[in-house]
Structure 1
């Protein structure tokens, strides 16, 4: 069976770029950025979905939509709830309805911020949610709206994303490594760093599965690189890959570096249901970081 055709709203970011690159010339891919496809614009959204459905039909391919469009400015969302709700909740809900009407499955990417972050073992998709930020609450509302609007929609939660394109923790640490003698990083935030190239591979596997209707029964799934680490230890690993002394990274408490939006203290997501759904677990986060630097080290200034 040929690979699925993909429409990827929010496709100009780091994950969208890796998704498009991973699929390559093997199938039809349309990955518009927000300027080309604003999911809060009903007319633009309808036209994009209809055009994609027609193109997929003409190519003889089964269409799947992977929604990456999101308001991800976590701190700004605290004072801009209206915009966060439009992008993270209402836009995805309308997209899900259009996909339902046209018989297209939808994968909707979400976040660890839907949890309170007070767990002591990896969160299962069925665990109680409890977002502590506007960003988290609008993403959770978006999940619920998508699942209610379309019976063939899946939510994929992930966490701590980094890639070669755009701003992320790895690029920030690389910049600070070049600018400062020491860098202070929270040692009481625990999560699973996830390379966008690896997540892209997982999403493509899921997209092709649902296109051929060999899909997981669970409609909420978690997908991250495996293993867990503190932000502080993650930063030390980044310095190692940069060829810098990891002792230049200094541990601090989250309370010592306050931000407008609270960060989850614990963001580790269990991939048990991902694996039980017949999908391939991602590799360990440390191995992924090493390979990411082999491929993109020059972008981050590795020696």
Structure 2
């Protein structure tokens, strides 16, 4: 199996590299923007045709949600144009494209977890450009999997878990938003899901292409997630004392981009088709020392 990974230095990209390096039956190249600018069509065509992968996993994205409100062209180039070029190149060489998307394609006003069939209605530039990327992928590459996820965290890069651990060193009190709900998702679990899907594609199993949701359970608020992080950190003696947490509303913590109040994703379809279970984010907090030791 030959796999091309984009966005190799991001949270998901590094998790994918970690998994693929342990596989003797996979030939892969993992490229970040310094080696492959996905917004450059000629560059994308050249790399994809030269390597001729069985599967392209696009883990590259513009994820600075608030900055996207002012950097609209850059966000669109990376989240819409790049996936479009990758999809066209994948179609050209007969590869499947696995593309990562987001809960931000929804408006967050549903009471129940969002299914793949629910109406999209992004409320931010980030969400809009990610939706445009989904549409571009679906129209340009027949063999595509769009994987929507949410609240991603890992030992790598910047994320909510690492921010909380850092703030615990300097703050006795923290205000955390309590009226946004979602499923924290461990990046290594996303990587495992993508590799499993890739295995099924390349071994000739009957794969239903299209859009899937994958995120963590149980669903919690950011406040509840923070509480779980500090509880785990305290048990692991990584912090001397947990900060006192106060649950606040979204209105009390204004941001440039509108966040969905409900980021809960229904993950039944991916289990039905691939037997992939929801990310166990609580288990992923069992060794928080790894989150302190990675940049």
Question: Shorter-normalised TM-score: what interval?
Answer: over 0.9
- SS, match of residue 277 in structure 1: helix
Structure 2 residue aligned with 1:28: 27
> Is the contact made by 1:242 and 1:297 (CA closer than 8 Å) also made in structure 2?
no
Structure 1 residue aligned with 2:3: 6
- Structure (1/2) with the larger helix percentage: 1
- SS, match of residue 66 in structure 2: helix
> Is the contact made by 2:57 and 2:98 (CA closer than 8 Å) also made in structure 1?
yes
CA–CA distance in 1 between the matches of 2:208 and 2:196? 15
Structure 2 residue aligned with 1:192: 183
Structure 2 residue aligned with 1:279: 275
Structure 1 residue runs without a partner (length 5+): 57-62
Structure 1 residue aligned with 2:61: 70
CA–CA distance in 2 between the matches of 1:215 and 1:195? 27
CA–CA distance in 2 between the matches of 1:140 and 1:213? 29
CA–CA distance in 1 between the matches of 2:76 and 2:22? 35
- SS, match of residue 282 in structure 2: helix
Choose from 279, 287, 293 the match for 2:288.
293
Choose from 232, 253, 258 the match for 1:257.
253
What does the per-residue CA deviation read over 1:163-189, in whole Å, with 9 as the maximum and x for residues that have no partner?
111000011111111111111110001
TM-fit CA distance, 1:283: 4.2
CA–CA distance in 1 between the matches of 2:189 and 2:242? 25
> Is the contact made by 1:206 and 1:215 (CA closer than 8 Å) also made in structure 2?
no
What does the per-residue CA deviation read over 1:192-219, in whole Å, with 9 as the maximum and x for residues that have no partner?
0111111111111011112223244251
Count of equivalent residues: 288
Structure 2 residue aligned with 1:224: 215
Structure 2 residue aligned with 1:123: 114
Choose from 171, 194, 204 the match for 1:213.
204
> Is the contact made by 1:114 and 1:140 (CA closer than 8 Å) also made in structure 2?
yes
Q: CA RMSD in A?
A: 1.7
Q: 209-218 vs 67-76, which deviates more?
A: 209-218
Structure 2 residue runs without a partner (length 5+): none
- SS, match of residue 165 in structure 1: coil
- Structure (1/2) with the larger strand percentage: 2
Structure 2 residue aligned with 1:142: 133
Change (3 A) 1:215 1:10: farther
> Is the contact made by 1:236 and 1:247 (CA closer than 8 Å) also made in structure 2?
no
Say whether 1:17 aligns with 2:25: no
> Is the contact made by 2:7 and 2:32 (CA closer than 8 Å) also made in structure 1?
yes
CA–CA distance in 2 between the matches of 1:104 and 1:250? 49
Change (3 A) 1:297 1:82: closer
TM-score by length of 2: 0.93
Structure 1: 4+ residue segments shifted above 6 A:
none
> Is the contact made by 1:237 and 1:246 (CA closer than 8 Å) also made in structure 2?
no
TM-fit CA distance, 1:282: 3.0
CA–CA distance in 1 between the matches of 2:263 and 2:245? 21
Change (3 A) 1:297 1:109: closer
CA–CA distance in 1 between the matches of 2:105 and 2:125? 10
